[in-house]
Chains A and B, each alone.
Chain A
Amino acid sequence: MSTSHKIFSKWDLLLIISVIGAVMIWIGIKQFSPNASEAVILIDGKIYEVLQLNKSGYYKIYNGKTYLMTVETKDGAIRAVYSTNWVFPATEENQVSVATGWISKDGESIISIPNKIVIYTRGMKEKTPYDVMTFQN
Chain B
Amino acid sequence: MSKRTITISIFSFIVIAVVITIIILKQPPKYYTRYGIELGTDVKITYATDRGNAKKVVDDMFNKFDEYEKIFDPWLNGSELYNLNHSNGQWVKVSPELLAVLKNSIVLANLTDGEFDPTIGRLVPLWGFNTDNTHEWHLPSPQSIKNALIHVGYKNVEIKGNEVKLLNGVWLDLNGMMEGYIDQLLINIAKANDPNSTGYVDVGGTVGIIGPKDGSQPWIIGIQNPRGGPNDAIAYVKLYKGYVGTSGDYERYIVVDGKRYYHIFDPKTGYSNNYFESITTVSTISTLSDGFGVFAMVNGSSNINEWAKKLGISYLAIDENGKMIEGPGWTAYEYKP
> Which residues in window 32-90 of A have CB below 8 A to B?
42, 44-45, 87-88
Task: From the candidates A20, A91, A120, A132, name the one contacting B16 in the complex (CB within 8 A).
Answer: A20
Q: B238-266 interface mask toward A, CB cutoff 8 Å, 1 = contact, 0 = none?
A: 00000011111111000000000000000
Taking a contact as CB atoms under 8 Å apart, the answer to whether A109 and B230 are in contact is yes
Query: Which 3 pairs between the two chains have the least Cβ-Cβ distance?
Result: A136-B248, A130-B222, A129-B337
A residues near B202, Cβ cutoff 8 Å:
132-134
B7 touches A7 (CB 8 A): yes
Q: Cβ of A87 and Cβ of B222 under 8 Å apart? A: no
B236: chain A residues at CB < 8 Å are 129-130
CB neighbours (8 Å) of B15 from chain A are 16, 20
Chain A interface mostly = mixed
Pick the contact of B222 from A91, A133, A137 — CB < 8 Å?
Answer: A133
The minimal Cβ–Cβ distance linking B335 to chain A, given in whole angstroms, is: 8
A-B contact count (CB 8 A): 151
Q: A45-B35, A113-B42 are in contact. Are A128 and B205 (CB under 8 A)?
A: no
Interface code B220-237, partner A: CB below 8 Å = 1, 0 otherwise? Answer: 111110100111010011
Contact residues in B for A110 (Cβ distance below 8 Å): 230
Contact B12 A19 (CB under 8 A): yes
The residue of chain B having its C-beta at the shortest distance from the C-beta of A6 within the complex is B4
26 A-B residue pairs with Cβ-Cβ distance under 8 Å, sorted by A, are A15-B8, A20-B12, A23-B16, A23-B19, A31-B23, A42-B36, A45-B36, A45-B37, A87-B133, A91-B135, A94-B132, A100-B230, A113-B40, A114-B132, A118-B36, A118-B42, A129-B222, A130-B221, A130-B233, A130-B236, A131-B219, A132-B200, A133-B231, A134-B237, A136-B205, A136-B246
Contact call B46/A131, Cβ cutoff below 8 A: yes
Contact for B200 among A16, A109, A111, A131, CB less than 8 A: A131
Closest-by-CB residue of A relative to B27 is A31
Residue among A20, A88, A132 making CB contact with B46, cutoff 8 Å:
A132
| Chain B residues packing against A (C-beta within 8 Å) | 4, 7-8, 11-12, 15-16, 19-20, 23, 34-37, 40-42, 44, 46, 62, 132-135, 175, 179, 200, 202, 204-207, 213, 219-224, 226, 229-231, 233, 236-237, 244-251, 278, 280, 290, 337
Query: Which B residues are CB-close (under 8 A) to A109?
Result: 35, 42, 230-231
Say yes or no: B175 contacts A137, CB within 8 Å: yes
Taking a contact as CB atoms under 8 Å apart, the answer to whether B62 and A137 are in contact is no
A94 to B252, CA, bound (A): 11
